[in-house]
Amino acid sequence: MKVRQILFVPPAPIVWAEHCRLFAKHGVEVETTQTLSSDQLGQGLADGTWDVGVGVVDNIIAWNDERKAGLQIMAQLERTNVMAFFSSKETLSETAQSPVAVDSTTNGFVLVLYRALARAGIDRHKLRYDAVGGVRHRFEALAAGKTSATILVPPFIDMAIAKGFRKLWDGADIAPAYPGVVVAARAAWLRDNAAAARGYMHALLEANEWAPNSASQAVASLVAARFSEPAAQRLVQDVVPNLEPSRAGWDEVVALRRECGLLLRPEPRAAEVINYKPWTT
């Protein structure tokens, strides 16, 4: 059974599943595409180019609204999304005078930036946002001086610090319940490909159980995938129990969209978007 997956950077359980060859063990052949942007990821899931995708909860809500994608969340792969805002400027107010690199202006990490700006009394509409793409492309733009600031995640946080960029805020201080990345698929695909979905999920669940019991190997596999050693150790110690999506995380994301005026009525319901239990049995 083939599963076509699209993602930015492979999250820990996928790295571990591949390291232990668990997809093959559970009868699934996973074909992975590394995306250039959330727009490519969302459109590709919506039109069926890919079967499953790894993104943030806010992506799923936005794509269901904007693209009528009909996506459901199968699992949460990391407990939280470690993120930080880096700039070549001294302050957030100085940064607001220069271009900021983003992936999208309507969904994803940018909503955490909007909350940070609001708390600092800065009108987000006055900033110039450059749609650069995924985190690797944003880091490269920052390092090359093509943008003044952007939001980064591991391993690019450590790389930005090493290059001397200033961390102006930490995601944990702005949106403490912001959840880690999730796996999503179209409800229609899940219905028509239940065996493949179950095999894919079981591989991830087994990988998630293996990591804390084989910590040194699990850390080494993440370091080989370009995670820093501290980040790898944190991910092994802080796995998501049973990969079950966090309701507190869902509520945080909905609140962010509501604050920005990007949450349409009727509001999405967690019970309709999170479809977790069928794939764990």
Range of the domain at 48: 2-80+179-279
The residue out of 116, 148, 174 marking a domain boundary is 174
Q: Let me know whether 153 and 219 are in one domain.
A: no
pLDDT of residue 165: 98
What pLDDT is attached to residue 29? Answer: 98
| Residues 65 and 188 reside in one and the same domain | yes
* Residues 195, 168 share a domain: no
Does position 200 have pLDDT exceeding 90, yes or no? yes
What is the model's pTM? 0.89
Q: What is the CATH number of the domain that holds 213?
A: 3.40.190.10
pLDDT on residue 117: 97
How many domains, in total, are found in the chain? 2
Same domain for 220 and 250? yes
pLDDT tens across 204-227, in order?
999 999 999 999 999 999 999 988
Integer Cα distance of 90 and 110 in angstroms: 20
Clarify whether residues 116 and 195 are in a common domain: no
Q: What is the pLDDT of residue 72?
A: 98
Q: Let me know whether 66 and 9 are in one domain.
A: yes
- 190/68 same-domain check: yes
* Domain limit, last residue, from 141, 174, 207: 174
Q: Is residue 257's pLDDT more than 90?
A: yes
Whether 75 and 187 share a structural domain: yes
Residue 94's pLDDT is: 95
Total number of residues shown for the chain: 281
Q: What is the pLDDT of residue 13?
A: 98
The C-alpha atoms of residue 219 and residue 235 are separated, in whole angstroms, by: 8
Tens-place pLDDT, residues 92-150? 999 999 999 998 898 889 999 999 999 999 999 999 999 998 889 999 999 999 999 99
Residue 134 has a pLDDT of 86
pLDDT for 273 beyond 90: yes
- 36 pLDDT more than 90: no
Q: Specify whether 118 is located in the same domain as 71.
A: no
Residue 96 shares a structural domain with residue 71: no
pLDDT in tens, 146-173: 999 999 998 899 899 999 999 999 999 9
Q: Which of 117, 151, 174 delimits the end of a domain? A: 174
Are residues 55 and 137 both part of a single domain? no
Of 165, 125, 156, nearest to 138 by C-alpha is 156
Mean of all residue pLDDT scores within the chain: 95
- What average pLDDT does the segment 28-42 reach? 93
